[in-house]
Amino acid sequence: MTLIAADTKYVVVGLGLTGVSCVRYLVSRGKHVSVIDSREKPHGLDAFKTEFPTIDVHCGDFSPAVLSSADVLVMSPGVALNTPEIQKAIAAGVRVTSDIELFLAEFDGRIIAITGSNAKSTVTAWLGEALRLGGHKTLVAGNIGLPVLDTLSEHYDVAVLELSSFQLELIQKLSADIATVLNVSEDHMDRYDSMAHYQQAKHRIYFGCQASVYNREDALTQPLVPTTTTKISFGLDTPDLQQYGLRDYDGLVWLAKGFEKIIPISELSLAGLHNASNALAVLAMADAFGNDRAATLSALTSFGGLPYRCQFVASVHDVRFFNDSKATNVGSTIAALKGLADREDKNIILLLGGQSKGQDLSPLASVTEKTCRHVFAFGEDAALLKRAVVTAEIVENMADAMTKAVGLARAGDVVLLSPACASFDQFKNFEHRGQVFNELVGVLK
């Protein structure tokens, strides 16, 4: 949908990185732009005013007068559509768009769109690497890396877009060449009123797609919308013909397409069954795109992973430390536990903590019971975590948890930071939490 009529008035809602990129894009195209933010002094406000001294900036609330003056609200994904002031403007006839829609109106390459409650950043980056090795000029963007509108000055053959549920709510019809929902588990229940509402937001990614890729072991990923597109599934079970999964050959477990064995999972660059699932998703999408299989296999065996996504940090006295700070929901933590667990021994010491975002924490109980020798809970919702995992020990902060974990750890153990919660109670963001964990491990060497 093209929204760039000459006299269109745009109000950019939210002055984060995405909002600033939207302003920069619209100004470059000669559009009438103003900005509104509910915060009194958003981070970077002074720098913004220096760059755009003539643009009106309204801070401190969502003024109905400012919002209703717009023809189009360019929404930042961090601002909920159901905010009353936004809903009132929409009811008055103001249109809503986003940076992704503005990008799609100009981008002339192919689109691969990826969402899921967990692992979407890893799969997006891994697939991007596979396509680059296949000789395709590949943009990796969206909820990962640079804001998409900052990339339009350069030509790309394909855009691999990581899209959150918040971003998908702001897209009318994506019409991707390939679209996938990797998994669906509870997340952002402080913003959605039900799992069904959250799932529906995720499934907007399938609207108009040419090929849908879904996780057949997770019924919530199977396309809800009527579609005549190509449907491809992946899973850790044995695959049917033309589908992707795992097969046993000669004592090894292989990634497979139907009966075709492709690569042993022991050769993947990222360890754990959860990463075998991620690799299957990458393989399925790369094949659907038409990527050179040898290039895909090269990426599957060489990709180094992303920081703070079940990242191996160090081994100290035969105790391995893994940093999964990006695990901000229960599903992600469960995936990490299942991926790293020793089936013969409860070998994991788990660090949980932060803001639980209204999630149902109870699924942690059975998985930690099978995989963890000890669990520490810290931060704002430590008491809620202990209510779910009754054996958990409450500590003040992550540093305290690390001190006690090191004291308990024995050779062969894994100390895993996989918080299942947001970080904003004690840290700036999940990256800051991950940095602090790495520093705590660093002093042990």
Q: Could you say which of 31, 118, 120, 329 is catalytic?
A: 120
Is 374 marked active-site?
Answer: no
> Cβ-count burial of 390 within 10 angstroms (0-12 exposed, 13-18 middle, 19+ buried)?
exposed
Residue type, 408: L
Beta bridge partners of 245: 256
Is 143 marked active-site?
Answer: yes
Q: What's the rounded Cα separation, in Å, for the pair 218 and 235?
A: 9
Q: Could you say which of 118, 143, 347, 438 is catalytic?
A: 143
Q: What's the rounded Cα separation, in Å, for the pair 380 and 358?
A: 12
Beta bridge partners of 351: 376, 417
Is 428 marked active-site?
Answer: no
Q: Could you say which of 136, 188, 257, 386 is catalytic?
A: 188
Contact 444, 350 (CB under 8 A): no
Quick one: CA dihedral 126, 127, 128, 130, positive or negative? positive
Q: Which residues are catalytic?
A: 120, 143, 188
